[in-house]
């Protein structure tokens, strides 16, 4: 899929008293001339409509009918200002795997976010746009040995682990790494349950810390992830208490932990009937302050929180069928679809645009 348009950066000045628009516009002039998506002054709705109506489905190239995104980067800035207002202590490290759009990454970098990278390619992408290695966490508890070497070569020190094999691997290829122990949390209230793959149970954390101590490795903190698409704000509270338990374990073993990574799962929704970022922040921020002293650095790994409100996808309908109420199926040919506006109820009946 391709990105065909975004709004310009100087529209963001209304959302912040600091008004960084002039700095952003100047910084991005060189990027506009690179091989990046088109920048547009028009609205998302008009960008979608213009692209759709510009296609001639009888004569266009084979790839011209591919699905495409339109991104409103004002929304990214809105989300960042929302985050800094409600969770000022927690530093966002954007999860690159969520959406590695080049303009999105550059905007987030200019706003000062860090980056959660899960692979060598993601690390390279972030380093290539000029981000300092200290602003990257290699948040994959199970890494290829060559990728650990790559991180060492590029001084990307912060990385997670949740098993002893990983500790021995890091000892061999990057003994100076700054390690973050990823723990298992209750993710039953999430759409994507990452605990099926990652996270050390509290029954195993002491043994892992002892192994790290034996190997003379530098464990600096604890991380967790309540699952992507979490719909219960109390899941964060339970996870924070588990992290506090591991902090205390580590202290007894001689470690001085000073980093807490609260992962992702943050809602971007503003629908007050469901979970919202405001509801999460209202309990997460105070709970962290009550359990962890100010010298503990706190970061998070939001992904969809930043990307979902900004990106709208359009996709070409290539065929369809209508299922009647009695269960019989009527198959319609494309001539019928294209000539019957009552079937789709949009301006260009061969296409469908859906805004998320």
For the annotated catalytic residues, the residue numbers are 97, 225, 301
* Residue the block writes with tokens 């723990």: 183
Give ∠ CA 196-200-202 in degrees, rounded to 5. 120
Q: What is the DSSP letter of 38?
A: P
How deeply is 15 buried, as exposed, middle or buried, from its count of CB atoms within 10 A (0-12, 13-18, 19+)? middle
76 in Cβ contact with 106 (< 8 Å): no
Calpha distance 32→306 (Å, rounded): 21
Comparing CA positions, the residue from 262, 161, 288 lying closest to residue 218 is: 161
How deeply is 278 buried, as exposed, middle or buried, from its count of CB atoms within 10 A (0-12, 13-18, 19+)? middle
Partner residues linked to 353 by β-bridges: 314
Q: What is the DSSP letter of 37?
A: P
Calpha distance 75→304 (Å, rounded): 12
How deeply is 36 buried, as exposed, middle or buried, from its count of CB atoms within 10 A (0-12, 13-18, 19+)? middle
The torsion of the CA quartet 18, 20, 23, 26, rounded to 10 degrees, works out to: -150
* Residue the block writes with tokens 């310009």: 8
Partner residues linked to 136 by β-bridges: 115
Structure-block tokens of residue 216: 């003379």
Q: What is the DSSP letter of 39?
A: P
Comparing CA positions, the residue from 137, 206, 214, 216 lying closest to residue 175 is: 216
Q: Mapping DSSP to helix (H, G, I), strand (E, B) and coil, where does residue 274 land?
A: coil
Comparing CA positions, the residue from 272, 291, 251 lying closest to residue 89 is: 291
């Amino acid at each position: 899929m391709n990105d065909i348009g975004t709004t310009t950066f100087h529209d963001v000045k209304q959302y912040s008293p600091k008004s960084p628009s002039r700095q952003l516009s100047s910084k991005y002039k060189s990027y506009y001339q690179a091989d990046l998506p088109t920048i547009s002054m028009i609205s998302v709705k008009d960008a979608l409509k213009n692209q759709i109506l510009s296609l001639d489905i009888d004569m266009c190239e084979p790839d011209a009918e591919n699905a495409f995104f339109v991104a409103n980067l004002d929304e990214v800035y809105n989300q960042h200002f929302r985050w800094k207002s409600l969770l000022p202590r927690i530093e966002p490290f954007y999860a690159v795997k969520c959406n590695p759009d080049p303009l999105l990454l550059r905007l987030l970098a200019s706003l000062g976010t860090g980056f959660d990278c899960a692979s060598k390619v993601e690390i390279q992408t972030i380093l290539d746009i000029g981000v300092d290695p200290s602003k990257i966490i290699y948040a994959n508890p199970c890494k290829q040995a060559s990728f650990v070497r790559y991180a060492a070569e590029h001084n990307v020190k912060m990385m997670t682990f949740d098993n002893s094999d990983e500790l021995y691997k890091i000892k061999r290829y990057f003994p100076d790494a700054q390690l973050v122990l990823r723990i298992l949390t209750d993710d039953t209230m999430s759409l994507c349950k990452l605990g099926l793959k990652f996270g050390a149970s509290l029954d195993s954390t002491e043994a892992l810390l002892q192994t790290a101590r034996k190997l003379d490795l530098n464990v600096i903190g604890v991380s967790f992830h309540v699952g992507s698409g979490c719909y219960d704000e109390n899941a964060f509270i339970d996870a924070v208490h588990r992290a506090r338990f591991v902090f205390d374990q580590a202290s007894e073993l001689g470690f001085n932990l000073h980093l807490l990574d609260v992962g992702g799962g943050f809602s971007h929704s503003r629908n007050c009937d469901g979970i919202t970022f405001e509801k999460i922040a209202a309990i997460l921020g105070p709970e962290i302050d009550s359990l962890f002293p100010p010298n503990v650095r706190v970061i998070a790994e939001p992904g969809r929180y930043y990307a979902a409100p900004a990106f709208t996808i359009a996709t070409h309908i290539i065929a369809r069928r209508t299922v009647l109420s009695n269960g019989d199926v009527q198959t319609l040919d494309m001539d019928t679809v294209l000539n019957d506006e009552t079937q789709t109820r949009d301006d260009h009946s061969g296409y469908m645009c859906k805004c998320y």
